[in-house]
Each structure stands twice: as C-alpha cells, then as structure tokens.
C-alpha cells in the first residue's frame, strides 16, 4: 500500500460581521423564531455586507489557514474554490482569490456542486496529491447565499447564510484522507435551483429533505463498509449544515450518538459549500478535534449532488 497521503494540516474561517437572528427575520417576513428553530435548528446566520463578495470572504479564511500552517504564498501550488455564488461569471473565484493572496505559481479553478462543492473539491485535491502534481493545496468553500435570496419568500430566506471556510491539504506520510466518494443525479435538477433567468433560489423543501436523509444515510453506510470500519470507530461526523432535523435523522439511521456530530447550523444557517469547512474550523478551534481522530464528512446539495470523505485528523 502507498504511504503517500493527503492530510488536512490547517484550517481557517470567516463569517461576516452582520448577524441576522430569527427574530430579525420575523420583522421582515411572515415567520417566527419558533417556526424556524423547530423546523431547521437555525437561530441566526451571518450576512455579508453589500460590497463584500465571496472572494473577500475566501481571502480572509485563506489567510488564517495559511498562517496556521506557516505557509507563504509561494508554498501553495494549487487552489480550488467551491462556490455557487461567484463574484464574477469569469474569471473564476479561485483565480480572483489567487490574485488577492499574491500566490503566483499555483493554478486555480472553481468547482460548483452546490452544497456538496467542498467535498467535491477535497476529492479532486486528494487525487492531485496522490499523483504528486501538487504538494500544498488551498481548498476553500465560500458563499454569499444572501445574494440569491428573495427576502419576501419565507420558504427560502430563513434557511441560508454567508461565510467562508478554508483548509490546506498537504502531502504527508501519515494517514490523512482515507477515502472520498462523490455522486450526482441531474434528474433532480428542478427541486433546488437558481435558473439562469432568475435571481433567486427555488426549492421544493419537502422533497429535498426526504431525498437528502435517504441519500446521506446510505452514503454514510457505504463509506463505513468501503473502509471496513464500524460506526463506533468514528470520532466525529461533520455533515453539511442545512437543517438539524436532516442531520439528526441521518445520525439515527446510522446509529451515531449526537455528541459525535459537529453542529453549527444553529449559528451559521445553511452556508452551502462553506458549511463543512466552517464547521471543521469551529470544531478545531473549540478543541473538539484531536490528532488521530477519525472524521467523516458528508454533504448533499442541488443537482442532486452528494459526497463523503473519511479522514484521520
Ligand atoms: O442544502 C441542501 C438543500 N436544502 C435543504 O436541505 C433543505 C431541505 N428542506 C428543509 O429543510 C425543510 O423542508 C424546510 C425547513 C425548508 C421546510 O420544513 P417542512 O417541515 O418541510 O415544512 P413545509 O415545507 O412542509 O411547510 C409547512 C408549512 C407550510 O404552510 P402550509 O402550506 O402547511 O399552510 C409553509 O407555507 O410551513 C409554512 N412555512 C413557513 N411558516 C413560517 C414555510 N416557511 C415558513 C416560514 N415561517 N419561514
């Protein structure tokens, strides 16, 4: 077996200053804190300033991850940004980030797999390390979901938030990423979408909910089987943070105690591709993640797309 691994060596995150609570939302649409909290587990979300873009948020998160890893711009040889809310149609958010960070020798590109984007990016990055094309990869999930929200539509505007999370994935001879798995099915394209001629998110929430629970439950089981490990061996599940009811239903399906789940949806809302790296950074900085911990990441999003990763911290 190869002793070359890719390993997460650092993380960083950024949340915009403005906090919008459920009570604040109840002032602008026909909703209530109780409805939002009971249906989603969300209490508040951060909202970017008008002149603050997904690139700006990615920049702030990336600086922190690079500083924690003690890496200089020249040490980064590849940048992948997962986003569905780019600052421009082109160039990519990754290229704009490269410029802000003054990283000269890297190549940079975006992936768009909606809420699964970060796991897709991790899957790709791992392969670039395994094939020795890159040694230090900056991976960022960044989203300005507020730019896609109709503040008159209570079905969607209460669910999402803005922010960015970054990690550095580096070549290592210690175990890191053990496996990744990604999938998609475009037959569900209309259940969660922003059409090209529309400004706003449209979602059939109920259908998304049911398919998300079913797909992520199955995916978690197949990830365990593929790696020949038992659920008891998992130290942490860091799932995409869309709805605490979805997360709890998955935990129940796979018999994982709730204490082993990293949960940030209460404070961040659904930040799409940023949600997993934001949750990862939160858990790292509050001391939950320890060296050697076995961690499962899991995401589900528009497409539908889905993905999981199993890793040693
Ligand atoms: O990131 C991955 C993508 N997104 C998701 O994973 C989201 C998946 N879906 C969900 O999280 C849930 O479906 C929601 C939280 C969006 C909705 O919860 P639900 O239990 O599925 O509610 P519902 O759509 O069945 O709506 C129930 C009622 C409706 O009223 P009627 O028709 O029963 O009279 C809605 O109009 O709740 C109403 N409603 C609201 N009421 C107060 C919808 N939004 C709101 C609101 N406040 N914000």
- Is the CB–ligand 1 distance for residue 243 below 6 Å? yes
CB burial of residue 62 (10 Å; 0-12, 13-18, 19+): buried
pLDDT in tens, 47-61: 999 999 999 999 999
Check pLDDT > 90 for residue 261: yes
Check pLDDT > 80 for residue 81: yes
pLDDT range class, residue 3, cuts 50, 70, 90: confident
In this prediction the pTM is: 0.97
- Is the CB–ligand 1 distance for residue 39 below 6 Å? yes
Check pLDDT > 70 for residue 42: yes
- Is the CB–ligand 1 distance for residue 270 below 6 Å? yes
* Helix 117-130 and helix 275-285, axial crossing angle in degrees, nearest 10: 80
As a whole number of angstroms, the distance between CA 75 and CA 125 comes to 15
- Is the CB–ligand 1 distance for residue 37 below 6 Å? no
Average pLDDT over residues 285-306: 97
pLDDT range class, residue 2, cuts 50, 70, 90: low
pLDDT in tens, 182-211: 999 999 999 999 999 888 999 999 999 999
- Is the CB–ligand 1 distance for residue 158 below 6 Å? yes
* Helix 54-68 and helix 93-101, axial crossing angle in degrees, nearest 10: 50
For ligand 1, atom 22, the nearest C-alpha belongs to 206
Average pLDDT over residues 238-255: 96
Check pLDDT > 60 for residue 1: no
Which one from 46, 60, 115, 157 is the annotated catalytic residue? 115
* CB-CB contact of 302 with 159 (8 Å): no
Average pLDDT over residues 74-101: 98
H or E segment to which residue 223 belongs:
helix 205-226
pLDDT in tens, 127-141: 999 999 999 999 999
Average per-residue pLDDT for the chain: 97
115 annotated active-site? yes
Dihedral (C-alpha) 10, 81, 297, 156: value to the nearest 10 degrees?
130
CB burial of residue 33 (10 Å; 0-12, 13-18, 19+): middle
Output the CA 242–ligand 1 centroid distance in Å: 12
270 annotated active-site? yes
| % the chain with pLDDT above 70 | 99
Average pLDDT over residues 240-269: 96
- 227: Cα within 13 Å, side-chain hemisphere: 23
- Is the CB–ligand 1 distance for residue 154 below 6 Å? yes
| Domains, in order of start, for the chain | 5-172 (3.40.47.10), 177-312 (3.40.47.10)
240 annotated active-site? yes
Q: Please give the C-alpha separations between residue 87 and each of 52, 57, 97, 147, in angstroms, as whole numbers.
A: 9, 11, 10, 10
Average pLDDT over residues 170-177: 96
Output the CA 205–ligand 1 centroid distance in Å: 6
For ligand 1, atom 4, the nearest C-alpha belongs to 242
Q: Please give the C-alpha separations between residue 111 and each of 17, 29, 61, 239, in angstroms, as whole numbers.
A: 26, 33, 18, 19
- Is the CB–ligand 1 distance for residue 115 below 6 Å? yes
pLDDT in tens, 63-73: 999 999 999 99
Which one from 11, 22, 240, 243 is the annotated catalytic residue? 240
Output the CA 118–ligand 1 centroid distance in Å: 25
Average pLDDT over residues 17-30: 98
Output the CA 225–ligand 1 centroid distance in Å: 34
Return the pLDDT at 225.
96
Which one from 60, 112, 243, 270 is the annotated catalytic residue? 270
Query: Which residue's structure tokens are 């939160």?
Result: 282
- Is the CB–ligand 1 distance for residue 216 below 6 Å? no
């Amino acid at each position: 077996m190869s002793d070359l691994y890719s390993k997460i060596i650092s993380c960083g995150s950024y949340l915009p200053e403005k906090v919008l609570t459920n009570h604040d939302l109840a002032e602008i649409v026909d909703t209530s804190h109780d409805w939002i909290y009971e249906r989603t587990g969300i209490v508040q979300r951060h909202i970017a300033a008008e002149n603050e873009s997904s690139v700006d948020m990615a920049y702030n998160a990336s600086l922190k991850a690079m500083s924690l890893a003690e890496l200089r711009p020249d040490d980064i040889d590849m940048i992948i940004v997962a986003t569905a809310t780019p600052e421009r149609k082109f160039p990519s958010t990754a290229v704009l980030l490269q410029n802000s960070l003054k990283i000269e020798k890297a190549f940079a590109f975006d992936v768009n797999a909606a809420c699964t984007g970060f796991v897709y990016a991790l899957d790709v990055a791992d392969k670039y390390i395994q094939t020795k094309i890159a040694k230090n990869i900056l991976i960022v999930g960044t989203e300005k979901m507020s730019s896609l929200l109709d503040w008159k539509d209570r079905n969607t505007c209460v669910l999402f938030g803005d922010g960015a999370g970054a990690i550095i994935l580096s070549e290592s001879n210690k175990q890191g990423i053990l496996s990744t798995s990604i999938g998609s099915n475009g037959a569900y394209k209309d259940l969660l979408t922003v059409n090209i001629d529309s400004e706003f998110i449209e979602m059939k929430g109920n259908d998304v909910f049911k398919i998300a629970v079913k797909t992520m439950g199955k995916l978690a089981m197949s990830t365990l089987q593929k790696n020949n490990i038992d659920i008891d061996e998992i130290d942490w599940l860091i799932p995409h943070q869309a709805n605490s009811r979805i997360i709890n239903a998955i935990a129940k399906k796979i018999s994982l105690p709730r204490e082993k789940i990293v949960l940030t949806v209460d404070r961040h809302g659904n930040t799409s591709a940023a949600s997993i790296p934001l949750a990862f950074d939160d858990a790292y900085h509050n001391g939950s993640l320890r060296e050697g911990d076995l961690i499962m990441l899991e995401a589900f999003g528009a497409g539908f797309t889905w993905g999981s990763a199993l890793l040693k911290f």
